Structure 1
Amino acid sequence: MTATAPATPSAAAAPPADSAPAARGIRRPWTEHGLTFTAPFLLMYALFLLWPVVLGLKMSLGDDNITGSGGEFVGFDNYAEALTDPGMWDALWNTVWFTVLSTVPLVLCGLVFALLAHGLRFVDWLWRLSWFAPFLLPSGIVGLLWLWIIYPAEFGFADQLLATFGLEPGIGWLSDERYAMLSIVGTTVWWTVGFNFLLYLAALQSIPQHLYEAAELDGATAWQRLRHVTLPMLRRTTLVVVVLQLLASLKVFDQIYIMTQGGPDDATRPILLYVYQEGFTGYRIGYASAVSYIFFALIVLVSLVQLRLARRSREENSR
């Protein structure tokens, strides 16, 4: 009688080779990398952002006209003309000057308002709403509202208020070069400070309470707690607010177009309004595109400097 060897695990029946893919499922690179889900966004991004950028660069190298004429290649002649055009440099200076005048109060006022709202213990919702509500208004409403407030002669609310206190009315808030840019800055601060206020308020609410308790136990005063606890904890938020505010102020257009159209004597005309006038009033689309790309290079340069300063600040804080 012959003995049979017991079956070993290796001798067990293995599933057919062609059934393994069916069990695991078919893996394709297209679905594995999620391109199926990102394809609609990538298509819209290429269609409405990348293609206009490429088309605008092409137009900046030609003498394209809004009427459809022109279109001949002129190389960098538009850029050379823009760099030697006093009107372009005046508009660029107005943009930089507006950015300097508006960024400082917008950052400081946003911080002060957030500190006040965070410390209030009664009807705090009303203060938050009153400081943030103007930011929700469209630019057209803001421009018309402030036109009524600072309208000259006896119709403006500001002049009526001056006359009430016995002061001389009739200040050219928008017609005098000394006050026009300041009036635009005041309008912008009132309108957009709510966004910075909201960012600072959210950052204040995220500061751990035990830091204040420890500082108070050490005998720190309210000013010392603000200086050594609150402000250092808001450093990153301040950097974000400054960067966003610089970029937003450099792109100013709406309120100036509505309130002054760049006047008086182009004293408030920013670079974007200059581009609009050259392209859609002067019909020089190619030249306006070249100015736009010069301004785009300036914004990229400002962003790189800000990122460099932020990286250096983080490196110093980590030491």
Structure 2
Amino acid sequence: MTTLVGVDAARGRRAARAGWWSRWAGLAFVAPFLVLYLWLMIYPLVSGVIMSFQYKDLLSGTSEFVGFWNYEDLSIDPIFIGSIFNTLRFVILTVPAFVVLGLLIALALNRPTRGAAIMRTLFFGPHVLSVTVVTLIWKTVYLPNVGMIDAGSTALGLGPLSILLNPDWALAAVALVTVWWSIGLPMMLFLAALQQVPQDIYEAARLDSASPLRILWTITIPSISKMIVLVAVIEVVLQFQVFGQVNLLTGGGPNNTTRSMVMFIYQAGFQQWQAGYAAAASQILFAIMLVAAGLQFWVSRKPAES
């Protein structure tokens, strides 16, 4: 009996050591990711929040706790308030276009033909270009007097339009560039979702003499509704961070009508050297992005749950 008890105790100790080792071995495997995540994500996020409550001058190195002073100053800064509305307008101009046009292009090119493959490549091609290359291409289109648009309008007797210099059209022109540049990603995501829909459902609908529009509304869109939500949320987050094309095409003009929130943060932090002020603006941008993405997700999910 004593021998059996000793054997059981030894087995229990070995099992405990094996369980301890398996737990620490698992932690060792995820430790590199955790370290990088804490270093590159959590630490900058916490540092930015702390910095937003400070007066921090990067040029002189001055740092002083000022509480909510940065946020109070931003609330009455007309340029910052204008950048919020400009960014919201830009999101409204681009996100529906990404969802609708991306889905329409995906529907048109969702077929196993060589022509469709070539067209998918052409639509996705601009997405791999840098923002500098894209803006250089479109500057030749938008240049006053000698650009493609102004040359065409002059030939038609309308005179030069100078779109990028027009406060009413400049932001829409930047939105057009953005959609042309990035429509490839929504298209590919929708194509991936469409190819997961079982074909026998479509065959059954055609046997019942369902029209293409009815098939679209009753089969296709419900089947890829999760991807529609995902694309909308991704584009909301991305377009709230618009900076490169605005900076290179218009510089925030004319009359601050295209100045985005990220451009305001960049100028406050790296041109005026007011890091605390820029950090406070970035926290407001983060909060707006969080609310907008959450609201989009909630609105899109609510009909399906009811």
Give the match's secondary structure for 2:63: coil
- The 5 A counterparts of 1:120-131 are 121-131=113-123
Q: Give the distance between the partners of 1:111 and 1:195, measured in 2 at CA.
A: 11
- Identify the residue that residue 20 of structure 1 maps to in structure 2: 11
- The 5 A counterparts of 1:26-175 are 26-27=17-18, 29=20, 31-32=22-23, 34-119=26-111, 121-154=113-146, 156-164=147-155, 166-175=156-165
Q: Give the distance between the partners of 1:127 and 1:64, measured in 2 at CA.
A: 51
Q: Which moved more, 1:90-99 or 1:211-220?
A: 211-220
Q: Does residue 197 of structure 2 align to residue 181 of structure 1? A: no
- The 5 A counterparts of 1:283-294 are 283-294=273-284
Question: What is the percentage of aligned positions where both structures have the same residue?
Answer: 30
For normalisation by structure 2, the TM-score amounts to 0.92
Specify which of 226, 230, 233 is matched with residue 243 of structure 1: 233
For normalisation by structure 1, the TM-score amounts to 0.88
Given residue 272 of structure 2, which amino acid in structure 1 is its aligned partner?
G
The alpha-carbon deviation at position 190 of structure 1 amounts to 0.2
Aligned length: 305
Q: Give the distance between the partners of 1:308 and 1:224, measured in 2 at CA.
A: 26
Give the match's secondary structure for 1:152: coil
Q: Which moved more, 1:260-269 or 1:234-243?
A: 234-243
Specify which of 244, 267, 283 is matched with residue 277 of structure 1: 267
Q: Give the distance between the partners of 1:18 and 1:12, measured in 2 at CA.
A: 10
Give the match's secondary structure for 1:177: coil
Contact preservation (8 Å) 1:133, 1:194: yes
Contact preservation (8 Å) 1:172, 1:179: no
Contact preservation (8 Å) 2:98, 2:186: yes
Q: Any idea what the Cα deviations from partners look like across 1:191-242, whole Å, max 9, x if unmatched?
A: 0111110111111111111111111111112222222222222222111111
Q: Give the distance between the partners of 2:7 and 2:66, measured in 1 at CA.
A: 69
Contact preservation (8 Å) 1:30, 1:36: no
Q: Give the distance between the partners of 2:11 and 2:153, measured in 1 at CA.
A: 87
Q: Which moved more, 1:57-66 or 1:188-197?
A: 57-66
1:30–1:177 CA distance, 2 compared to 1 (3 A): farther
1:17–1:120 CA distance, 2 compared to 1 (3 A): closer
Contact preservation (8 Å) 2:153, 2:161: no
Unaligned runs of 5+ in 1: 1-9
Given residue 286 of structure 2, which amino acid in structure 1 is its aligned partner?
F
The alpha-carbon deviation at position 13 of structure 1 amounts to 7.2
Q: Give the distance between the partners of 2:21 and 2:69, measured in 1 at CA.
A: 45
Q: Any idea what the Cα deviations from partners look like across 1:289-314, whole Å, max 9, x if unmatched?
A: 11111111111222332343344233
Q: Give the distance between the partners of 2:244 and 2:265, measured in 1 at CA.
A: 13
Give the match's secondary structure for 1:283: coil
